[in-house]
A and B are shown apart, each in its own frame.
Chain A
């Protein structure tokens, strides 16, 4: 996938104003010369405002305090560099490849998440990007519940030039998934992408249904799905961790797509998710255009978080 920096896209701004962001973390360190109590309090507030969460925030701030004490750091700008480096290092482990190839068989991807997080759009954009690399892509519309979800994916399939497997509304999503993998194998596709219905992670029945979809895929093609992506909305607060936890328990999620980062939300909850669950963030969504789904870059993400 292409990797033009999303940070510059964000800054240059798509004709959007970003005046909701006065008083970012960077500013705290530039208005304070030395490390002070007020500075730490402001840092704590800013991290919480970015949805990093109370626990993770307190941990970060406590670590910084300890370093200040142990290393005798006084200079605030030096402290800022340290914080930035540490958080970048922490999240760099989260950078992971998005090559999505399998030798001799289709690479199968399953896209899941709660309602409205942007699954169908993400599946469509990934299909588009892969198809542009001259790969043969089969999309599966396993969201048979939401009205017109199939139509929405069909439009994406057409844009991407991908094949689409679709059943009637209300059909068994497992059957759609099976047929999609089947079609992928028969047509010697490079990539198979299966879009699922949005569901709250607390609905036991729906999570069971998702597990079944996963199993059915594996039945048709042993070893598949190779990638299970959880789509998270960047405006989500602390519930994001619960979502990640429950979906991972059901599906062994191995990558996160953080969407809607083009607003004023910072998506700080992925830090806790990465910290506690170790799931890498693979892609971020920074706009509605096809080119606005980009590989995750820790440095850019932290820069945007602090800006």
Chain B
């Protein structure tokens, strides 16, 4: 029962594919299966009902065409309807014509508002904006302290009147504070609140009325169930929401709440949270999400991310060195860190079509290996890194002790490094003038088999 929605739909389509044409009977079974799959994915039942009706209508209208590939036809219909439901294109953040742009984060408790505020600051920083994070959660113990640390990690400014102040007052003061500190963006981190808590909803409304934010983002967790519609509906009724941030998309929840949230609020999902690091925030792409739901992978995000993170200049330099065969462990370390910046290996792999959610359990272990490798190289002197031939028995022992690994580990790394160097050199040489066996000229040389 708890197999992936994509897999489930696949088997539905397979059933239909086997049959010559789309009849009402096999449509009904398929639609029933789609309904159950969507419900298991936590899409709200009322939303599902509407969706199924839409798909049915769309499918029956096309039936007249007497399609040759009914399976593909229905994949397309379901995909298109999902995309339509989730909003056709990725929606950017609003910017104020006259700074500061004010962004207000709202939501239930424990959805990830504070972390998302930090992530937004990091995201905006990349676009050249300077953010002021405003601590307006006076209820949860140490929430303001948490924001302070997050702001520091994000390289953003932080402001709060403290937990004994009125949150509305704090937010009001923040505007002036922003211009004082030269911030063009203000991000209000409000307390988590229940949609049925009238006093707390009133407080949020006061903040919104007083500051008139350009964005009011509803932060919700991808694991949310049927109740997503209730909380979202009431937040949307109390506040003029402009968008949604869907957090914890890096787990195995199927995230059907996304569909419910969009349907109820009429707001686009602007970002998704995909990890615990502050860089782990991505724009939401309805096309991709629908594709992901239908098991088509998400290679586009991967490519974009690689381009964003990898220092192009360094990559070119590394390639040059590699071509000549004169790269050393220092280069290797650098290269590895670039890769690491791209995020958790399993996150990455999940974006590759076909591997989607079928990763073996050992994937996170590869990350551990990377950590060990890094530790070993860091335990070498610069001289040793530049010239690994220097590393004799005594040095190996010292390096092993220093990195908390064994001499065998150090040996294995050195051997692997030599082998790789040789391999790369040969590959590069072989590549000259020949099409065969050439390493592609992308920004990323392949990762050796550690």
Identify the A interface with B (CB < 8 A): 14-18, 20, 45, 48-51, 53-55, 114-118, 124, 145-149, 151-152, 154-156, 169, 200-205, 233-243, 260, 262-266, 269, 288
Contact = CB atoms under 8 A, between A and B. Distances in A.
A152 B196 contact: no
Contact of B194 (A16, A146, A169): A16
Nearest to B163: A155
B338 to A, nearest CB: 21
Interface in B144-160: 145-146, 148-150, 153
Given A16-B194, A263-B231, A235 B251 contact: no
Interface string B203-239: 0000000000000000001011111101101100000
Question: 5 smallest A-B Cβ distances: which pairs?
Answer: A237-B225, A116-B110, A237-B42, A147-B149, A148-B146
A18 B196 contact: yes
Interface in B300-355: 346
A242 B252 contact: yes
A48 B197 CA distance: 25
Given A50-B226, A115-B248, A264-B230, 13 more contacts: A14-B197, A20-B195, A48-B226, A51-B227, A54-B1, A118-B110, A154-B142, A155-B142, A204-B361, A241-B2, A262-B196, A263-B227, A264-B196
B231 to A, nearest CB: 7
A237 B1 contact: no
Nearest to B357: A202
A114 B198 contact: no
Nearest to B110: A116
B108 to A, nearest CB: 7
A147 B2 contact: no
Nearest to A234: B227
B297 interface: no
B251 A49 contact: no
Contact of A15 (B197, B231, B248, B256): B197
A119 B277 CA distance: 20
Contacts of A16: 194, 196-198
A16 B36 CA distance: 33
B109 A118 contact: yes
29 contacts: A16-B194, A17-B196, A20-B195, A48-B39, A48-B45, A51-B226, A114-B251, A116-B109, A116-B111, A116-B248, A148-B145, A151-B141, A151-B142, A152-B145, A156-B141, A169-B149, A200-B250, A204-B363, A205-B367, A235-B225, A235-B231, A237-B257, A239-B42, A242-B2, A263-B108, A263-B227, A264-B195, A264-B231, A266-B227
B224 A237 contact: yes
Given A17-B198, A115-B248, A236 B223 contact: yes
B251 A200 contact: yes
A205 B367 CA distance: 9
B364 A203 contact: yes
B40 interface: yes
B227 A265 contact: yes
A148 B142 contact: yes
A39 B169 CA distance: 52
A238 B254 CA distance: 9
A236 B224 contact: yes
Contacts of A53: 40
A94 to B, nearest CB: 20
A147 B153 CA distance: 10
A263 B251 contact: no
Contact of A116 (B41, B112, B228, B365): B112
B412 to A, nearest CB: 21
B199 interface: yes
Given A151-B141, A239-B252, A146 B221 contact: no
Contacts of A233: 110, 221, 223
B140 interface: yes
Max chain A Cβ within 10 angstroms of own Cβ: one of B226, B228, B234: B226
Nearest to A205: B364
A177 to B, nearest CB: 20
A204 B363 CA distance: 8
Given A203-B364, A205-B364, A239-B253, A55 B233 contact: no
A69 B197 CA distance: 44
Contacts of A147: 145-146, 148-150, 153
B139 A269 contact: no
Contacts of B36: 54
A265 to B, nearest CB: 4
Contacts of A240: 223, 225
A60 to B, nearest CB: 15
Given A148-B142, A263-B195, A54 B40 contact: yes
Interface in B90-114: 108-112
Contact of B45 (A45, A117, A288): A45
Contacts of B110: 115-118, 233, 260
Nearest to A124: B141
A239 B45 contact: no
A237 B226 contact: yes
Contacts of B108: 235, 260, 263
B141 A155 contact: yes
Interface in B367-400: 367-368
Contacts of B364: 203-205
Given A16-B197, A201-B251, A262-B194, A238 B42 contact: yes
A116 B234 contact: no
Contacts of A116: 109-112, 221, 248
A288 B140 CA distance: 9
B276 interface: yes
A118 B221 CA distance: 14
Nearest to B114: A147
A263 B194 contact: yes
B331 to A, nearest CB: 27
Contact of A20 (B139, B230, B363, B367): B230
Given A146-B146, A156-B141, A15 B199 contact: yes
A213 to B, nearest CB: 17
Nearest to A233: B110
